[in-house]
Amino acid sequence: MSKARVRSTKEKHMKRSIQERWPWLEEVRGMRSQLLDILSNADLAFSPGGQNMTLGVLLRKMGDLEHSYIQSLKTGVRDLSYHNTEAGLESDITRLKAWFQALDEEMLETISAFSNEELTKRVDRGGFHSTVEREIDHYGEALLIFFGKATIYLLAMNKPVPESIESTIG
C-alpha cells in the first residue's frame, strides 16, 4: 500500500474519531465561518460603547485564545500570554478568516495526533489541572462564550444572527 493511501486511511480514521468524540467541533467551526461571512471590514470597527472593545478586537482575542488552547494541548501548560500583534489584523476580515483557518487546521492536527492514552495526560491550567480530553472540552466552552458575546455585537449592529448561532446560543 502506498504511503499516500496509508496516510489517507489514517486521516479518515482520525477525523471519524474526532467526530465521534467531539461532534460539536466541526459545528462550531461552521458557526464561526458563518459569522465571519456576514461581516465586513467596516463591521470590525464597531463597538457597542462604554469600555467594550471593537468587534475586530473581540475576534482577535478569540484567535489568541484558540492559539493558547492549541499550545496547552501541545505543551501540557496553559499560557494565556500570547497576543497576535500582526498590524491591521483586527480590521481586515480576509486576514482574520485566513488566520482562523490556519488555527483550525492546527487544532485538528494537534487533536488528531493524540492516542487514547494521551487524552488522559494532565494539562496545568495555572491553579488546577485538567486532562487533554477535558481541555478540548474547555476550548468548546470558550467558543460558546465567544458566540454569546458576538451575538450581542450583531444585535447592536442590527445584523442578522446566523441561524446556527441562534439555535445553539439562543
pLDDT in tens, 73-83: 999 999 999 99
Q: pLDDT tens, 9-37?
A: 655 555 566 667 777 788 888 899 999 99
Residue 79, number of CB atoms within 10 A of its CB: 13
What does R_g of the chain's alpha carbons equal in angstroms?
A: 17
Residue 64, number of CB atoms within 10 A of its CB: 15
Q: State pTM to two decimals.
A: 0.87
Locate the domains of the chain by residue range. Answer: 3-169
Residue 35 Cα to chain centre, angstroms: 13
pLDDT at 5: 58
Q: Which CATH architecture has domain 3-169?
A: Up-down Bundle (1.20)
